[in-house]
Amino acid sequence: MEQLVYRAIAEKRRDRRYHVDIEGRLVDDDGVTQTVVVRNVSIYGAMLSGLTPPQIGARVVLILPYLERDATLIWSRGEQCGLLFNSPVDPVAILANAGPVSQSMTAPDRRIQ
């Protein structure tokens, strides 16, 4: 049942998502840390790639050089997952602080769509 609730939340996207490629870390409740790439971000959540996601419903912390945010994992597919932040963020500020995209990233630009 809990998984259905998270899916419903994920499908009610109303806020604009900004496409980014920002390297960060994801820490789960057990203290396991994984390097991730934030692929898009909105005021209430983010899509990550490059990890082995924890279970849906897991409480995690997303750590970026200029932001640390508690979140809940609400979906996963392969090496990607979606987070629902516990409190809103300013996606434009995240873009402004992102700096240059790493050359190891697959996407060559940081277009706002």
- On average, the pLDDT of the chain sits at 82
Range of the domain at 37: 2-97
Looking at residue 3, its pLDDT comes to 52
Give pLDDT tens digits for 5-25: 454 455 555 689 999 999 999
- E strand or H helix at 48: strand 45-49
| 56 domain residue, yes or no | yes
16 within a domain of the structure (yes/no): yes
Q: What is the model's pTM? A: 0.75
Taking a C-beta distance cutoff of 8 angstroms, is the pair 110, 20 a contact?
yes
- What the block records as the tokens of 74 is 């609400």
User: Is 75 inside a domain boundary?
Assistant: yes
**What would the pLDDT profile of 37-90 be if each residue is shown by its tens digit?**
999 999 999 999 999 999 999 999 999 988 999 999 999 999 999 999 999 999
Gap between the Cα atoms of 109 and 76, Å rounded: 25
CATH of the domain at 90: 2.40.10.220
Strands (E) across the chain are located at: 18-28, 33-41, 45-49, 59-64, 67-77, 80-85
